[in-house]
Structure 1
Amino acid sequence: MNKTEETTNLPNWLQRSADNTPQKIAISTPEIEWTFAEFNQQAIQLAQQLATLGIQQGSRVALLASNGLPFVVCVHALIRLGAILVPLNVRLTLDEQLWLLQDVEAMALLSDEHYAERATEIQQSLPTLAEGRLQLERATQQVSLLNVPHDPDAPLLDEIELEATQAIMYTSGTTGTPKGVIITYKMQWWNAVGSALNLGHQADTDCWLLCMPLFHIGGLSILMKNVIYGIRIIVYEKFDARLINQAIREQGVSIISVVAIMLQRMLAELDASQQRYPATLRCVLLGGGPAPRPLLEDCASRNVPVVQTYGLTESCSQAVTLSPADALRKLGSAGRPLLPVQLRIMDEGVVVGPTQPGVICLKGPSITTGYDHRPDATAATIQDGWLATGDVGYLDNEGYLYVLDRRNDLIISGGENIYPAEIEATLLAHIEVEEAGVCGQPDAKWGQVPIAFVCLRPGSQITSTELLAYAAQRLARYKLPRAIHLVQQLPRNSSGKLLRRELPKLL
């Protein structure tokens, strides 16, 4: 008997939450809040307008918008049409955005009022691109397309096909030309399931605060968890430590996703206002790379429930997360793989044992199957279903992952491997240091040597020489930075991750 390939469909996630809990608050911003029923109706109405632009199943639709309700509703309207979301990084230059739009072969560009001027520039360069301007009508609290009629007969989808592509998200391009990562509904589903099994799911009380960029996978995956779990999310346009802390104290926030620099600023604001977090905050999900140990110890002393996580666009956000029960016992670990994810450490094509560093490799239904029209990149990165992340780490004797660094950031000096994150953690342990970044510098004798860039805390008078003496007491000689440069700020991407490749430009 021949087995025929079948696709697995699920009910539309937002529709199901609207059916089950129509009056429950689904999403809120500082100005507006909607129930699941209202949210669902907004998505349907916007989908009927998008259909008028010719957007249909399989259409690739770019979205250039800030964090807010127009972005969120647009995501779900595209799901109703079976169209593919291509979120644009708002920090890219015009040329970079034009390249991306042509590379992905987008048929339409949707933008909001914040990026209307850039959208016009894009339209002038790509006149065949259909364009729609999203607006939020304050009086009616309605998201709609400016001057576009509805198509009441538009064929909207009531089901979600798990194997279908939900989004194409471009990587930051640290190793050359950016690549479009294929994100399927199956990836979003299994990521949400794996996260809930690890962090717990409290449908009646959970509230996830979203202050990460929605054009990154970390933000987009929270939008999916919102409707899969049927929980409330609070969306902030930008990160502001004071407003975020206020929301945690006053709005029943139970989970928040941040990176280390954001958490540092939140704790500093907490000290300045002489406040503390309420018991309702049960999880501070900390991603974006290895966290400085002093930061984790500071959170432990305050009983701030930090849970480290490791993931990337190709793993649909979280792949490995430390369970709350292990947060203090395994300080500094990213945890164990989520249930759907398999993990192994590879070095020169061989799986290595506990405590041995190597490339972190992942496999499972929440891991991408490849890059859009990049068969060479897909073949180089994914073999037999295993994704080579390019990150370096090791597993301890209990199978807990410790992330050391990006392989591309690894400094090889005189044959020794030096991990920038280790040096950064040492510098960050100094009370006068607010931020630290380390990269390699070419050297005739050693091949490379590490150099460091440091932002001091306000009012600090410490010198580079004093910091070097401090580091010399804590690092092996070959790991000691050749120089420490004091700077005003470090280069970071829109989600707060340190861009080590940009550090030499500070010289």
Structure 2
Amino acid sequence: MPTIADYQTAEFGLLSDLIRIHAHERPTHPALVQDGDSLSYAELDALMDRVAAGLQRDGVKVGQAVAICATTSLNYAALFLGCLRAGVAAAPLAPSSTPEQLAGMVDDCGASLFFLDHGVAEAMAGVMDQVKARRIALDGGPAGEAFVHWLPRAGAKPAPVEIDPKTPFNIIYSSGTTGTPKGIVQSHAMRWRHMGPREDGMGFGPDAVSLISTPLYSNTTLVCFFPTLAGGGTVVMMAKFDAGKYLELAERYRVTHSMLVPVQYRRLMEYPDFGKYDLTSFQMKFCTSAPFAAELKAQVLERWPGGLTEYYGMTEGGGGFVLFAHLHPDKLHTVGQPGAGSIIKLIDEDGKEVATGEVGEIVGRSPATMNGYWNRPDKTAEAQWTDPATGEVYIRTGDVGRLDAEGFLTLMDRRKDMIISGGFNIYPSDMEAVILQHDAVAEAAVVGVPSDAWGETPVAFVALKPGASATAEEIKAFTNGKVGKTQRLSDLKLVDSLPRSHIGKVLKRELRDGYAAG
């Protein structure tokens, strides 16, 4: 049997093979832990075999997909990993999607099997007749055939399969607001670029203990989950984030790595007993998926041992940025420099590259790029920009930013969120940064709303810090006194909290729609 050392410089490999090696070399070492239960590497390896054998028994071929929609659990994780051993693409779906979207995604990925739990089944009750896939209940509830009964007998082994670099690893669906979201196909080669056992300075070795509290359907979670298992470490999983429980688990398991989104970092920094927990085991913390305020990064660096790494990129791949915040405390307002293998350009509305220091849309290319959108060649083409000088294809991010002389990227906004008022471009992130300077403000979001006079005009939504007191007019006046005439807010609304997705992204469409309706 190969050893982990054989993979150190491999251009391509399979996560399922690495787990098998760990099971042979360290069979009793815990691979997955949740709520006091665990799976050792030997147990996980055997369960992956049973899952893969079950998929083959049911006629699921290499490159085909199965759908998964459930709360994070040991069964969920083992199912996802077992799909990889069979060369089957897992399509993990967000339970927060509408019932109609979920039914559409199960159909879109062509799944003949749909693994779900009771909560999802209840939510989809009105559209379940649209789902043709066979249903298996991961939690053993009434959602379908019990997972333990679906599994082949203990000791079952799958037939060997050929998995090439372009074979779909998973299909991650974008967070579409209407219709069926697009399925982003990530290949085994793309994932290997993210997790191959190489010296990347992140410390994902056999002694790593990673705590994840975001869901398994999110790429945010997977960029920490897979490297931990590839390195032979332990993943401690939370089904739902809670600041107090997170800190208890971090101390109990001597956690070394963790992926969190900005709103979770903020809740932890605001947790009254944060300083009472021993977090000295931490080596590296990660963040991605949403804007990470510079002042919040500074708090984390000051109060929490270990390094802090921020990733900026797209699930689609292309180019990405990395900020080692602990090494660049003077660059906390940025998302870092291009990651290894990433080639980045900023382009204007005519598709022409802009000069350093000028604002443009971020486009990127790298070996870690999606195959394309599942069955959507038209949308795949829309997501691409071709360099007229070289013919090389880049992925469009839809984000607007500025590169400094050292290659650090300052994000401005989503291109679609930019406000054009009276012919002037207004970047909501600039406005939000000013609003956050007010002592009473915890979080803020600025959106553009229709205006007869200006085309669009900026409106802010603000949540106050616990115990703070300020009126909407006071904060509006404070902001307008610090910005240019063309940027001034036309309205400001106080809210209890900003609407967010399960991975912490502010849902600005909800704010715009709610304002229009109100």
TM norm structure 2: 0.88
Q: Residues 155 and 29 of structure 1: is their aligned pair in 2 closer, same or farther, counting only changes over 3 Å?
A: closer
| 1:322 and 2:323 matched | yes
Q: Residues 14 and 300 of structure 1: is their aligned pair in 2 closer, same or farther, counting only changes over 3 Å?
A: closer
| 1:303-452 aligned within 5 A | 305-315=307-317, 319-347=320-348, 348-382=350-384, 383=386, 384-452=392-460
The equivalent residue for 2:103 is 98
SS of the aligned residue for 1:334 comes to coil
SS of the aligned residue for 2:260 comes to strand
- 8 Å Cα contact 1:437/1:453 also seen in 2: yes
* Deviation at residue 131 of structure 1 after TM alignment: 2.0
Unaligned runs of at least 5 residues, structure 2: 1-10, 387-391
| 1:221 and 2:223 matched | yes
- 8 Å Cα contact 2:290/2:504 also seen in 1: no
Residue deviations 1:412-436, cap 9 Å, x none? 1122221112222222232311221
* Deviation at residue 120 of structure 1 after TM alignment: 6.2
Percent identity, aligned pairs only, is 27
- In 2, distance between residues paired with 1:307 and 1:148? 41
The equivalent residue for 2:5 is none
- 8 Å Cα contact 1:306/1:327 also seen in 2: no
* Deviation at residue 144 of structure 1 after TM alignment: 7.2
- In 2, distance between residues paired with 1:234 and 1:365? 30
Report the residue type matching 1:22 in the other structure.
P
Q: Pick from 472, 478, 502: which aligns with 1:494?
A: 502
- In 2, distance between residues paired with 1:120 and 1:502? 25
The equivalent residue for 2:252 is 250
Q: Pick from 67, 70, 81: which aligns with 2:72?
A: 67
* Deviation at residue 379 of structure 1 after TM alignment: 1.2
* Deviation at residue 16 of structure 1 after TM alignment: 2.4
- In 2, distance between residues paired with 1:412 and 1:279? 47
* Deviation at residue 136 of structure 1 after TM alignment: 7.0
- 8 Å Cα contact 1:420/1:439 also seen in 2: yes
Report the residue type matching 1:130 in the other structure.
R
- In 2, distance between residues paired with 1:172 and 1:45? 32
Q: Pick from 81, 97, 108: which aligns with 1:76?
A: 81
The equivalent residue for 2:266 is 264
| 1:19 and 2:20 matched | no
* Deviation at residue 265 of structure 1 after TM alignment: 0.3
- In 2, distance between residues paired with 1:242 and 1:191? 30
| 1:166 and 2:169 matched | yes
Q: Residues 174 and 350 of structure 1: is their aligned pair in 2 closer, same or farther, counting only changes over 3 Å?
A: farther
- In 1, distance between residues paired with 2:334 and 2:477? 28
* Deviation at residue 177 of structure 1 after TM alignment: 5.1
* Deviation at residue 472 of structure 1 after TM alignment: 2.7
- In 2, distance between residues paired with 1:339 and 1:156? 36
* Deviation at residue 242 of structure 1 after TM alignment: 0.9
| 1:460 and 2:463 matched | no
- In 2, distance between residues paired with 1:175 and 1:402? 30
* Deviation at residue 236 of structure 1 after TM alignment: 0.4
| 1:57-206 aligned within 5 A | 57-118=62-123, 123-126=128-131, 128-135=132-139, 145-148=147-150, 150=152, 155-157=158-160, 160-173=163-176, 178-193=181-196, 198-206=200-208
Q: Residues 202 and 176 of structure 1: is their aligned pair in 2 closer, same or farther, counting only changes over 3 Å?
A: closer
Q: Residues 322 and 313 of structure 1: is their aligned pair in 2 closer, same or farther, counting only changes over 3 Å?
A: same
- In 2, distance between residues paired with 1:69 and 1:431? 43
Unaligned runs of at least 5 residues, structure 1: 1-6, 138-142
Q: Residues 97 and 149 of structure 1: is their aligned pair in 2 closer, same or farther, counting only changes over 3 Å?
A: closer
- In 2, distance between residues paired with 1:175 and 1:370? 20
- 8 Å Cα contact 2:103/2:128 also seen in 1: no
Which shows bigger deviation, 295-304 or 411-420?
295-304
Paired residues, what number?
A: 492
Report the residue type matching 1:380 in the other structure.
E
Residue deviations 1:135-162, cap 9 Å, x none? 479xxxxx97243361777644476532
- 8 Å Cα contact 1:411/1:448 also seen in 2: yes
The equivalent residue for 1:4 is none
Q: Pick from 37, 49, 55: which aligns with 2:54?
A: 49
- In 1, distance between residues paired with 2:352 and 2:463? 40
Q: Residues 457 and 54 of structure 1: is their aligned pair in 2 closer, same or farther, counting only changes over 3 Å?
A: same
- 8 Å Cα contact 2:459/2:489 also seen in 1: yes
- 8 Å Cα contact 1:341/1:364 also seen in 2: yes
- In 1, distance between residues paired with 2:377 and 2:61? 26
- 8 Å Cα contact 1:82/1:157 also seen in 2: no
Q: Residues 290 and 438 of structure 1: is their aligned pair in 2 closer, same or farther, counting only changes over 3 Å?
A: same
- 8 Å Cα contact 2:38/2:74 also seen in 1: no
- In 1, distance between residues paired with 2:304 and 2:31? 29
Q: Residues 156 and 117 of structure 1: is their aligned pair in 2 closer, same or farther, counting only changes over 3 Å?
A: farther
The equivalent residue for 1:31 is 36
- 8 Å Cα contact 2:229/2:235 also seen in 1: no
- 8 Å Cα contact 2:205/2:233 also seen in 1: yes
- In 2, distance between residues paired with 1:32 and 1:225? 21
- 8 Å Cα contact 1:182/1:372 also seen in 2: yes
* Deviation at residue 306 of structure 1 after TM alignment: 3.1
- 8 Å Cα contact 1:370/1:378 also seen in 2: yes
* Deviation at residue 506 of structure 1 after TM alignment: 3.4
Residue deviations 1:154-175, cap 9 Å, x none? 6444765322101111111258
* Deviation at residue 123 of structure 1 after TM alignment: 4.5
- In 2, distance between residues paired with 1:160 and 1:231? 24
